[in-house]
Chains A and B, each alone.
Chain A
């Protein structure tokens, strides 16, 4: 089963994380903060057709499957933060 994200998944994840977006030429720069600190960021390419974004899960420190589960709401934001803490990505 494939779990490759697209830009649509990227925007859904950005929305769920309530992340901020910095618009740049050709792509959007997504910044996720927790307690005021930048925890992670990733780029989303803009385009009318469906574009694969296989890097999003890497930059979120998740497996492709877990990234899909997060995007589909099987993993909540608090649960995701706990995952990041367990992985040493949040102090």
Chain B
């Protein structure tokens, strides 16, 4: 045991808190009055005559420990805030249940898919909405699979109906939609 530890034991720390109450780091900031325990009777026996020389190092040690505790407290607060933010972001994603799903085939329909179509699927009330934003084609279904299946069926309807319509009868949006559909879909000969 070091000399400073021995000295530390000699001092009585004032009872700042009642037993059973929560420890507060702020307690560390309060003044600690070093009243020697039984000083008068034991001074001659246990207390080193050069105890006063050890006081500065004891105070320095105490200050250093308080600073470390404060740093830890700050780190924990920052971590708590970060975890709370991540939790709310995770909850928002879980509630929306948004996923990007590729459509890779129109089988058994007689259409070839030239490249995969990425569609979004998200929960809407008790149902799911599937959408192809580029082509502005959306629909819903009771579950994710049905929503995507309905969307595939609707995409082919758009393709078929717009393809069979004379070009001059298509407005700005249908022309744009058909141009996008033509990049992805081809009817089998």
Q: Which of A25, A43, A52, A88 has the most CB of B within 10 A?
A: A43
Which candidate, B42-50, B52-60, B87-95, B152-160, is the interface stretch facing chain A? B152-160
Measured in the bound complex, the distance between the Cα atoms of B168 and A25 in whole Å is: 28
Interface SS, B side: mixed
Q: Which of A39, A55, A59, A89 has the most CB of B within 10 A?
A: A55
A26 contacts the other chain (Cβ, under 8 Å)? yes
For this complex, 19 residue pairs linking A to B, each with C-beta atoms less than 8 Å apart, are A29-B154, A29-B161, A37-B171, A38-B162, A38-B165, A39-B171, A39-B173, A40-B171, A42-B138, A52-B124, A52-B125, A52-B129, A53-B140, A54-B138, A55-B131, A59-B137, A88-B172, A89-B171, A89-B173
Total CB contacts across the A-B interface at under 8 A? 82
Query: Contact at A38–B171, with CB atoms within 8 Å?
Result: yes
Partner of B138 from A37, A59, A90 at Cβ < 8 Å? A59
Number of interface residues of A (CB under 8 A): 31
Query: Contact at A55–B138, with CB atoms within 8 Å?
Result: yes
Range, interface on chain B: 20 to 34
Find chain B residues with CB under 8 A from A36 CB: 169
- Residue ranges of B at the interface with A (Cβ–Cβ < 8 Å): 124-127, 129, 131, 136-141, 150, 153-154, 157-158, 161-162, 165, 168-174
A51 contacts the other chain (Cβ, under 8 Å)? yes
Measured in the bound complex, the distance between the Cα atoms of B174 and A61 in whole Å is: 13
